[in-house]
Amino acid sequence: MSVSVIYCEGNSGSYDIRLLRQILPKCEIKPLGGKSFMEKIIPDRLFRPNLAGIVDRDFDNYDITPQNSPLPYTYQGVQIGWKWERKEIENYLIDPEVVKRTVRNKISSMNSYQEALEQAAQEIAVYTAARAALTSCGFQNCWGERITGVYGSTYSFPRSSTENAIRENIRSIVDQKRGDRIVSAENVLNQFEELLPLFKPGGDKFENYLTFFAGKDLLWKMQHKLEEFGFEPTVKGVNSPIPIFLDKIMARIEREEEVYKWLPEWQALRNIIINTTF
């Protein structure tokens, strides 16, 4: 029997669960917060053998070539589910194909949207390389101004993303957090320098920014463009166009049929769930 129960991140109203319910309408989707639930899947399979989990890939150290397919997730040598191939759920919602199918009537030109997306990727390229380097060395991977009311949880983004400012922040994070670890700030900075060409325009990671860059960061840099496209915040207490934009996309997705056909990875996930048993 194929997988029938999916544990996922988020809460009952999060984009993760709402999207999964559209892609996998025959599965019971249970949001359990952060990633810690994944280790509970093995014992819970004693009661529901056809149980699996799906989580964001985040900035893990996968050296992958995008295949438009979710990645196997193992725990203690046992496959317990999958990771989305892209960094986080927002990376799918901002995909031009999804935008075209949901809010095209609000955007004057899809070319303009694509240009705004690519400009945002250029602006966060160096910061993204730093986040990847910090993650690979086991340190917190973000810093900056704490922002609330835009995403479901508190979000941070640096005021300055020049290369010099980013190097200084890498050094500061490592010096503050390393404790008795043998890794030094120079080690992490060297990792950053190795990764940087991959994340800059022309690099492999940049060319696949919808996979490797953070969707939330891309959206943050697109705020002014989103307002120009007509996604002005009009709800009391909402001060950013980002939740307006995402909510309209998600609401349209929930009204559509066969959403899984929109993106190759959604189709691949659906096929995997149907054809996998544990």
pLDDT tens digits, 101-155? 999 999 989 999 999 999 999 999 999 999 999 999 999 999 998 998 899 778 9
Provide the pLDDT for residue 90: 98
Please determine, for residue 44, whether its predicted confidence score (pLDDT) is greater than 80.
Answer: yes
Provide the pLDDT for residue 109: 92
Say which amino acid occupies 80: I
Q: Provide the pairing of β-strand 71-75 with 78-83.
A: antiparallel
Round to whole Å and give the CA distance between 67 and 177.
35
Q: What is the mean pLDDT of residues 268-273?
A: 97
Closest by CA to 66, choosing from 49, 87, 94, is 87
Q: What is the mean pLDDT of residues 159-171?
A: 96
Which range scores top for mean pLDDT: 9-13, 38-42, 65-69? 65-69
- Residue 39 pLDDT level (bands cut at 50, 70, 90): confident
Say which amino acid occupies 139: F
User: What percent of the chain stands above pLDDT 90?
Assistant: 84
Least confident of 29-43, 45-59, 160-174, 238-252: 29-43
Q: What is the mean pLDDT of residues 31-52?
A: 90
Helices (H) and strands (E) in the chain, counts: 13, 7
Least confident of 51-60, 84-93, 198-207: 51-60
Please determine, for residue 256, whether its predicted confidence score (pLDDT) is greater than 80.
Answer: yes
Provide the 10 A C-beta neighbour count for residue 17. Answer: 18
**For 192-237, what is each residue's pLDDT tens digit?**
999 999 999 999 999 999 999 999 999 999 999 999 999 988 777 6
User: What percent of the chain stands above pLDDT 70?
Assistant: 99
- Give yes or no for a contact between 118 and 219, defined as CB atoms under 8 angstroms apart: no
Distances (CA, A) of 244 to 8, 156, 231, 233, 234: 24, 19, 6, 6, 9
**For 171-185, what is each residue's pLDDT tens digit?**
999 999 999 999 999
- Where are the alpha helices (H) located in the chain, listed in sequence order? 15-23, 41-44, 90-93, 96-102, 110-136, 163-177, 185-199, 204-207, 209-212, 215-221, 223-229, 241-253, 264-275
Which residues make Cβ contacts (< 8 Å) with residue 174, sequence separation at least 6?
134, 137, 139, 183, 184, 185, 188
Residue 7 structure tokens: 């544990």
- Residue 34 pLDDT level (bands cut at 50, 70, 90): confident
Provide the pLDDT for residue 61: 67
Closest by CA to 117, choosing from 193, 210, 22, is 210
Q: Provide the pairing of β-strand 51-55 with 78-83.
A: parallel
pTM passes above 0.85: yes
Please determine, for residue 55, whether its predicted confidence score (pLDDT) is greater than 90.
Answer: yes
Phi, psi for 139 (deg, rounded to 5): -120, 165
Which sign does the torsion angle of CA 261, 263, 67, 32 carry? negative
Q: Which residue has the higher pLDDT, 161 or 81?
A: 81
Q: What is the mean pLDDT of the chain?
A: 94
- Residue 248 pLDDT level (bands cut at 50, 70, 90): very high
